[in-house]
Amino acid sequence: MSAAWYLARGTGVVSLVLLTIVVAVGVATRSGRPAFGLPRFAVTAVHRNASLLAVVLLAIHVGTLLIDPYARLRLIDVVLPFIGNYRPLWQGLGTLALDLVIALVVTSLLRHRIGLRGWRAVHWLAYAAWPVAFLHGLGTGTDAGQLWLRGTAVLCAATVLAALVWRLSTRVPALSTVDGRR
């Protein structure tokens, strides 16, 4: 096994952890209140920076998989899901998650152009991207049988679940109030 293969797996796991943080902190951002003992602007900054870091880690995840011969990854597999040579279903979920993440990042960068409603409609996809990425990691991961990865997965799932429960049990303010825009 080459160094690229290990790096690909490692960055896959870190990406999943980062996406978990992004989702949980994103939900906290929407509350419009201080969270984790941080003022609101700091929570937003964590959300934004963790997303960008996740994108960098995902680029390394996919880039190293393209270099390493084991998964026989082609450029088209990075964009189009479920047509891969290697575990097409589980790998395809990774591609789907990446497509969703890219849509989220691009619309966030263009937020001032597409308007709050359009941005928000796409941002709901975050709730779909996380479980798709989670299933990909557990379904295809060589390390999915290892205790450390299972423990990490349980912690990630518990974090997102806690954020969801909190979101559903709290009245969040209208987006314009949180964001300061209309």
Binding site for ligand HEM (CB under 6 A): 9, 12-13, 15-16, 19, 58, 61-62, 65, 71, 73, 77-78, 86, 91, 94-95, 97-98, 101, 133, 136-137, 140-144, 149
Q: How far is the CB of 58 from ligand HEM (least distance, A)?
A: 5
Q: How far is the CB of 114 from ligand HEM (least distance, A)?
A: 22
Using alpha carbons, select from 101, 74, 104, 77 the residue that is nearest to residue 91: 77
Instruction: Rank residues 66 and 172 by Cβ distance to ligand HEM and give the closer one.
Output: 66
Instruction: Rank residues 28 and 153 by Cβ distance to ligand HEM and give the closer one.
Output: 153
Instruction: Rank residues 33 and 87 by Cβ distance to ligand HEM and give the closer one.
Output: 87
Q: How far is the CB of 165 from ligand HEM (least distance, A)?
A: 22
Q: How far is the CB of 182 from ligand HEM (least distance, A)?
A: 32
Give the residue ranges of DSSP H helices in the chain: 3-30, 40-67, 75-79, 88-109, 111-123, 126-140, 147-169, 175-179
Which residues touch 95 (CB under 8 Å, ≥6 apart)? 77, 78, 79, 80, 81, 82, 84
User: Tokens standing for 106?
Assistant: 């691009």
Instruction: Rank residues 35 and 134 by Cβ distance to ligand HEM and give the closer one.
Output: 134
Instruction: Rank residues 50 and 65 by Cβ distance to ligand HEM and give the closer one.
Output: 65
Residue 38 pairs with which residues in a beta bridge?
A: 35
* Distance in angstroms (rounded) separating the CA atoms of residues 180 and 129: 27
Q: How far is the CB of 49 from ligand HEM (least distance, A)?
A: 17
| Burial environment of residue 41 by CB neighbours within 10 A (0 to 12, 13 to 18, 19 or more) | exposed
